[in-house]
Chains A and B, each alone.
Chain A
Amino acid sequence: MKADSIEARVQSSLYGARRWHPAEIVFWVLALAAFFLLPRQLLILNEIAILGLFALSLDLILGYAGIVSLGHAAFFGFGAYAAGLFAKHASADPLAGLAVGMGAAGLLGLLTSPLILRGSDLTRLMVTLGVALILGELANSLGWLTGGADGLQGIVMGPVLGLFEFDIFGSVAYLYSLAVLFVLFVLARRITGSPFGLSLRAIRDNPLRASASGVPLHWRLVAVYTLAAAYAGAAGALLAQTTQFVSLDVLAFHRSADLMLVLIIGGAGYLYGGLIGAVAFKLLQDVIASFTPQYWMFWIGLFLVLFVLGGRELIHGGIKAVVGRIGSLGRGAPT
């Protein structure tokens, strides 16, 4: 009887985590409402959506599996180039290009995953950084394929689903990116709530114990790394398609570092961290760039330092309070 009730309680707690919190619904409604409320800011909204997806991808491996990476831009850039080249040489259909970008980046993730299975955090940081640098170097030297330092030009995208043409205001671009982000987010949410996702958290918290209780450590890590790579590839593909241009910048080191900042702002391990971080990061970038375009790197650095030194707890406490407030509103009673 007692064991039964514990089992039931565990089950209900696991299922409870899967249920949609009212604050989540508010979040997505706001994201859609932004399309109507801010018609002049659609281009930056599109960038936020892409950055959010990219951060979501890092959150999958960092927040859930505990794999640190300083070279996540490798997959982003690989997906961007794959989608760009596909659009240029094969087909202008965006969804097919998206699939190609995801597939290519996922394959790269699968191939490079043995590298992150061994060694300490330090080794992982170095190896992921090395992979990103190698790809950047490759993209630079394979000028005939990638356009080298000039970037990949001449991408012409067809309409989404054969119906919606991309326009210069970015309205289709934003909706397209948001839709992709939403679909992939729901998928990620489902995955992280599944036994697979729970086993990842077990690995993150205590690898030895997880493997002792029968979790196949290596295969789970390979799987999530591949998945995250595909997500990053999707983000890259979205960028390539909506801007119709791919430059070497997609593989640059600062992109990986910025991504870390995004996730640090938002907090890792609950999926929304990347999205909230992306919004905050882009707003921050916009504000700083408007008064000191040249030295905004300094301010980003300062934010990083301050965040790590203690600002993070402050902000996260605030966010938690707000979410709790919305949650209690939804339920009609404070908990």
Chain B
Amino acid sequence: MLTILFDGIAYGMILFVLACGLSVTMGLMNFINLAHGAFAMFGGYVTVLAMQRLGLPFLMALPAAFIAAALAGLVLERLVYRPMYAKSHLDQVMFSIGLVFMAVAGADYLMGSSQQFVHLPAWLSGRFDVAGIGVGRYRLFIIVLCGALAFAMQWGFTRTRFGSRLRAAVDDARVARGLGIPVNRLFALTFAVGSGLAGLGGALGIELMGLDPTFPLKFMIYFLIVVTVGGTSTISGPFFAAMLLGVADVAGKYLVPQLGAFIIYALMVVLLITRPHGLFARGRA
């Protein structure tokens, strides 16, 4: 039972790293980027290639995934995303679905449709027991790493100048711009970091979630649940939403496998009906 909880938390941690970039971009520019998963997939493939072709160790491949995805995010934001901000939500959704389709087919073309694997270093594989609870080393690694990331982000979001500017821009971009905050640059940077984090999450998630060309479609709904349930104005909201989702999903799959993904979708619909503005949303006028 506790093992399930542990696995669920590890899963939720990865979901958080994957989705937090999305939540910030959504909150900041009111832009629905369904193609967020494509960046995660990109990071995952970069990791696989870096390890298989270049022979990089796993720990070196993770930053590579982050940087590659962040660069991709920066370039794409500049070239194709920026004209989309002023368009309607529907256009944005269509646009990013188009990007997802292209990413899925492109990955299929370049990498083949089979599942990709990575070889974890020996010290990360296997599991040990603590007081009767089976603890996977890799999952522990994920929890520690992503936990640290979450703390760093929370700190950056609430304590630094960058964070306070970002929050100001999320709350009201026009006023922030009027006060001389470079909202566009801020957003480009945030988009890049968010994409990079997605890439990192994709790299970390290969072991747990698998990696194949349909990744962005398969997990799109998960990111969106995290964001819609967690709200877009904090770091902690998506964090707890991701934890909840991770634990519920893992528990559901272990305990009642015949229901499959049913639980997650039902959970999402129920949450959205009862709390349409997110689980931890601040009251907004």
List residues of A whose CB falls within 8 A of some B CB.
62, 68, 70, 114-115, 118-123, 125-127, 129-131, 133-134, 137-138, 140-141, 253, 257, 260-261, 264, 294-305, 307-309
Q: A296-B105, A301-B104, A308-B84 are in contact. List 7 more A-B contacts (CB 8 A).
A: A115-B273, A134-B265, A299-B105, A300-B101, A301-B100, A302-B102, A304-B95
Q: Would you list 29 pairs from A and B whose C-beta atoms are within 8 A, ordered by A residue? A: A68-B93, A114-B273, A115-B272, A115-B273, A119-B272, A122-B26, A122-B32, A122-B228, A123-B228, A131-B269, A134-B265, A134-B269, A137-B260, A137-B265, A141-B259, A141-B262, A257-B97, A294-B108, A295-B105, A295-B109, A296-B105, A298-B102, A299-B105, A300-B98, A301-B97, A301-B105, A304-B95, A305-B98, A308-B84
Query: Which residues on the B side are within 8 Å of A298 (C-beta)?
Result: 101-102, 104-106, 109
Given A301-B101, A304-B97, A308-B91, verify A126-B272 contact (CB < 8 Å): yes
Find out whether the CB atom of B269 lies under 8 angstroms from the CB atom of A309: no
The B contact surface, by secondary structure, is helix
Find out whether the CB atom of B93 lies under 8 angstroms from the CB atom of A125: yes
B121: CB under 8 A from chain A? no
Chain B min CB distance to A184 (Å) = 24
B244: CB under 8 A from chain A? no
Query: Which residues on the A side are within 8 Å of B106 (C-beta)?
Result: 298
Task: Identify which of residues 80-98 in chain B touch chain A, using a CB-to-CB cut-off of 8 Å.
Answer: 80, 83-84, 87, 89-95, 97-98
Most A-side CB within 10 Å, residue of B92, B105, B217, B268: B105
Query: Which residues on the B side are within 8 Å of A140 (C-beta)?
Result: 260
Given A121-B90, A125-B93, verify A301-B98 contact (CB < 8 Å): yes
Q: State in angstroms the CA–CA spacing of A114 and B270 once bound together.
A: 12
Query: Which residues on the B side are within 8 Å of A119 (C-beta)?
Result: 272, 276-277
Q: State in angstroms the CA–CA spacing of A324 and B128 once bound together.
A: 75
Q: State in angstroms the CA–CA spacing of A299 and B99 once bound together.
A: 10
Chain A min CB distance to B132 (Å) = 33
Query: Which residues on the B side are within 8 Å of A302 (C-beta)?
Result: 98, 102
Partner of B273, one of A118, A129, A138: A118
Given A141-B258, A295-B109, A305-B99, verify A123-B276 contact (CB < 8 Å): yes
Query: Which residues on the B side are within 8 Å of A253 (C-beta)?
Result: 217
Partner of B94, one of A118, A134, A261: A261
Query: Which residues on the B side are within 8 Å of A309 (C-beta)?
Result: 80, 83-84, 95
Q: State in angstroms the CA–CA spacing of A260 and B83 once bound together.
A: 20
Partner of A130, one of B102, B109, B269: B269
The A contact surface, by secondary structure, is helix
Closest residue to A128 on the B side, CB-wise?
B269
List residues of B whose CB falls within 8 A of some A CB.
26, 32, 80, 83-84, 87, 89-95, 97-106, 108-109, 217, 221, 224-225, 228, 258-262, 265-266, 268-269, 272-273, 276-277
Closest residue to A253 on the B side, CB-wise?
B217
Give the top 7 A-B pairs by smallest Cβ distance, nearest first.
Answer: A304-B98, A301-B101, A298-B105, A301-B102, A119-B276, A305-B98, A308-B95
Find out whether the CB atom of A137 lies under 8 angstroms from the CB atom of B261: yes
Closest residue to A69 on the B side, CB-wise?
B90
Query: Which residues on the B side are within 8 Å of A70 (C-beta)?
Result: 93
Q: State in angstroms the CA–CA spacing of A302 and B109 once bound together.
A: 15
Chain A min CB distance to B222 (Å) = 11
Q: State in angstroms the CA–CA spacing of A111 and B37 once bound together.
A: 32
Find out whether the CB atom of B272 lies under 8 angstroms from the CB atom of A138: no
Find out whether the CB atom of A297 lies under 8 angstroms from the CB atom of B101: yes
Given A122-B228, A141-B258, A297-B105, verify A68-B272 contact (CB < 8 Å): no
Query: Which residues on the B side are within 8 Å of A257 (C-beta)?
Result: 97, 101
Query: Which residues on the B side are within 8 Å of A294 (C-beta)?
Result: 108
Closest residue to B276 on the A side, CB-wise?
A119
Find out whether the CB atom of A308 lies under 8 angstroms from the CB atom of B98: yes
Find out whether the CB atom of A118 lies under 8 angstroms from the CB atom of B276: yes
Given A126-B224, A137-B261, A304-B101, verify A68-B94 contact (CB < 8 Å): no
Chain B min CB distance to A264 (Å) = 6
Find out whether the CB atom of A115 lies under 8 angstroms from the CB atom of B83: no
Partner of A129, one of B87, B108, B221: B221
Find out whether the CB atom of B262 lies under 8 angstroms from the CB atom of A127: no
Q: State in angstroms the CA–CA spacing of A30 and B92 once bound together.
A: 34
Given A131-B269, A137-B261, verify A260-B94 contact (CB < 8 Å): yes
Closest residue to B268 on the A side, CB-wise?
A130
Partner of A122, one of B87, B89, B91: B89
Chain B min CB distance to A273 (Å) = 13
Closest residue to A140 on the B side, CB-wise?
B260
Find out whether the CB atom of A307 lies under 8 angstroms from the CB atom of B94: yes
Given A115-B269, A126-B272, A138-B262, verify A297-B228 contact (CB < 8 Å): no
Q: State in angstroms the CA–CA spacing of A309 and B225 once bound together.
A: 27
Q: State in angstroms the CA–CA spacing of A114 and B109 once bound together.
A: 42
Q: State in angstroms the CA–CA spacing of A145 and B91 once bound together.
A: 38
Find out whether the CB atom of B260 lies under 8 angstroms from the CB atom of A68: no
Chain A min CB distance to B280 (Å) = 16
Find out whether the CB atom of A68 lies under 8 angstroms from the CB atom of B217: no
Q: State in angstroms the CA–CA spacing of A121 and B100 once bound together.
A: 20
